[in-house]
Amino acid sequence: MRTDRRLVLLALATAGLLWGTTVPLTKVALTGMGPAWLTVVRFVIAALPLAIVARRGLRAASSPRALFWGAIGYGGVIVLQNAGIARTSVSHSALIVGATPVLVALLGVLTRRGGATGSTWAGAAFSLAGIVVIAGHGGGTATLAGDTLVALSVLLSAAFLLAQPAVLAGRDPVAVTAVQFGVGAVVTLPAAVLVDGTAALSLTPAAVAATLVLAIAGTLVPFTLFAWGQSRVTPAVAGAFVNLEPLVGFALGVAVFGDALSGPQIAGGVAVAGGLALTCVPLLRTPRADRPAPAPEREPVLTGGR
């Protein structure tokens, strides 16, 4: 049981870390196409290999609820986020995205589906405080329109996090993810044609490379890992790992783009890590009911790996 929990937390953490690459990759990819086209291309590339791997579970994964939340949680969230990132600063995006765990916990209380504990609330508060400090010392140009679009994407994302466990119950997470990627691409296609059009397409090598990496390392792998982990924990716990995204994005800004690093930003990063610890450490404690019963003395005791 303890091993399972550690694998779940590792999957969620890996997803959060990989998502941290999406903002800089999206910035580069948006130089080659509009926000809606990027969403379509990103999900088509990610959906195809997943559909092949999980082809036997696609029919069971194609429930009306899965299709609906695929349209909202993937198509709606990502196209709004892309449009917002194109219009606001990375620091403001980080601050808004950092509110996701708190919003998930609040919506969970309202719908009585969140399962947030005291440590979850404390962890969310610490992480949000850290994101506020990091974003408050960042640079870049922000706009109200961009901030609003990112905020709308976060609201939809929080609702998606609460609804997704019921969608995943009894179904293959890989198949569900493949189906929802496909739906996200389909519902975004009209916006790509009508709003973005073709005039904005400028497929430079840098934009193509960023789009491919975004589709695989920023979409296929993390969303699949997150779906698998999310089906095994409460929405509040899963939502806590979203805060790794702005933290990693900030670190990449310092390491790759030469953004300034200050003491308050380091303190903010420590607060985010501390918030995650408050959320996750209770899950690593094995309850008495989960501990295996001791083997009878008359039988040889053979212990395998954990």
The predicted pLDDT at position 134 comes to: 61
**Spatial separation of the C-alpha atoms in residues 88 and 150, rounded to whole Å:** 9
List alpha helices for the chain, DSSP H: 2-19, 22-29, 35-53, 58-61, 64-70, 77-85, 90-97, 100-111, 118-136, 144-168, 173-191, 205-215, 221-230, 235-240, 244-255, 263-284
- Stretches where the chain sits below pLDDT 50 are 1-3, 286-306
The predicted pLDDT at position 72 comes to: 94
**Spatial separation of the C-alpha atoms in residues 192 and 248, rounded to whole Å:** 29
**Per-residue b/e over 109-131, b at no fewer than 16 CB within 10 Å?**
eeeeebebbebbbebbbbbbbbb
The predicted pLDDT at position 60 comes to: 93
Query: What angle is formed at CA 118 by the lines to CA 9 and CA 224, rounded to 5 degrees?
Result: 25
The predicted pLDDT at position 288 comes to: 43
CB neighbours (10 Å) of residue 152?
17
Can you tell me which residue has the tokens 């926000």?
35
| Residue 6 burial by Cβ neighbours in a 10 Å radius (0-12, 13-18, 19+) | middle
The predicted pLDDT at position 2 comes to: 46
The predicted pLDDT at position 156 comes to: 92
Cα 28 to chain centroid, rounded: 20
* Size (the chain), residues: 306
Q: Where are the domains of the chain?
A: 2-285
- Dig out the tokens for 107 from the structure: 């919506």
- 101 and 246 Cβ atoms separated by less than 8 Å: no
Can you tell me which residue has the tokens 């496909």?
182
For the chain, report the end-to-end CA distance as a whole number of angstroms. 9
**Spatial separation of the C-alpha atoms in residues 163 and 176, rounded to whole Å:** 13
The predicted pLDDT at position 147 comes to: 77
DSSP state of 276: H
- 63 and 139 Cβ atoms separated by less than 8 Å: no
